[in-house]
Amino acid sequence: MSQEPPPDTSTGTLLLHAFQGFQRLLFEGYQDRGQVGLRPKHGAVIANLDAEGTRPSVLAARAGITKPAMGELIDELETAGFVRRAPDPTDRRAKLVVPTERALARQAVARQVMREIEEVYLGRLGPRAYKSFRRRLADLVALTGSGWEVAQPPHRNDAA
């Protein structure tokens, strides 16, 4: 059922639409589980938070956004009860952004929904093509230096 894109469709457009489709499925999965209230932009914080807390500058680097933009997102999430600011025990001058239980629960739901989306993609492409697809995407990310070098934090093991 594979479709050949029109010859004048750029790879960037295809990547954008693939990302938007993934994001739509992700947020539908949240909604199906009663997880509402966050917008896609908040993923820049939620997806990059370590369970013990993360400095805002590290969050900005992981998300590939500016420190001021990250500060605005942190403010929004703090107001909504997803994070809190705390002193960094290793440096009195620094602050950590610490996830609340609400944020940790959202991270767990996100991992569950993303596993389901990955299964759909795997079913559509088949194991060999899917593995190759992921490898080629990783090659493109590495080529552009657009985040591959900044790993997301490890997460607690979820049973759900």
So what's the pLDDT on residue 159? 44
CA distance 133 to 34: 32
3-state class (DSSP) for residue 138: helix
So what's the pLDDT on residue 152? 61
User: Which token pair is 99?
Assistant: 């996830």
Residue type, 46: I
104-155 confidence digits (pLDDT tens) = 999 999 999 999 999 999 999 999 999 999 999 888 888 877 665 456 666 5
Q: Quick one: DSSP state of residue 37?
A: S
User: Which token pair is 34?
Assistant: 């009663």
Q: Which fold has domain 16-144?
A: Arc Repressor Mutant, subunit A (1.10.10)
So what's the pLDDT on residue 9? 93
Q: Tell which residue, 80, 17, 18, has the closest CA to residue 46.
A: 80
Mean pLDDT (whole number) for 62-82: 95
So what's the pLDDT on residue 145? 74
* C-alpha pair distances (Å), 110 with each of 1, 15, 17, 52: 28, 21, 20, 18
Whole-structure pTM over 0.85, yes or no? no
Residue type, 94: A
| Radius of gyration for the alpha carbons in the chain, expressed in angstroms and rounded | 18
12-42 confidence digits (pLDDT tens) = 999 999 999 999 999 999 999 988 888 999 9
